[in-house]
Amino acid sequence: MKSFKDNGESSVSKSGFKQEIGLFGGVSFLGGIMIGGGIFYLGSYVLMRTEFNMGLALICWGIGGIITCWEDFVLRKWAQ
């Protein structure tokens, strides 16, 4: 796996997939998957769980993002 060379130039990878997704495509793919209907109703569940403390609720949303980023780093860096 270490000998893998990035062939960013070619339009079809060795395995036969077309390489058509760029940076904006990657971000929108993630945005498309991650931002679902949840943004519109999960806030209510979070408020119920913090006993309607709004400050704590916002902190929890932040922690959720930090956990997600942290998991990403653990996964990606350790695979090296």
Please give the residues from 30 up to 49 whose contact with other proteins meets the rule CB under 8 A. 30-49
Taking CB under 8 A as the rule, does residue 51 contact other proteins? yes
Question: Of residues 11-30, which lie at the interface with other proteins (CB under 8 A)?
Answer: 12-13, 15-30
For residues 6 and 22, give the distance between their C-alpha atoms in angstroms, rounded to a whole number: 14
DSSP conformation letters of 43-62: HHHHHHHTTT-HHHHHHHHH
Distance CA 36, CA 71 (A): 20
Q: How far is CA 61 from the centre of its chain?
A: 14
Q: How many residues bind other proteins (CB under 8 A)?
A: 72
- How far is residue 15 CA from its own chain's centroid? 25
Task: Give min distance, CB of 64 to other proteins, in A.
Answer: 4
Min dist CB 43 to other proteins, Å, is: 5
Q: Is 3 in the site for other proteins (CB under 8 A)?
A: no
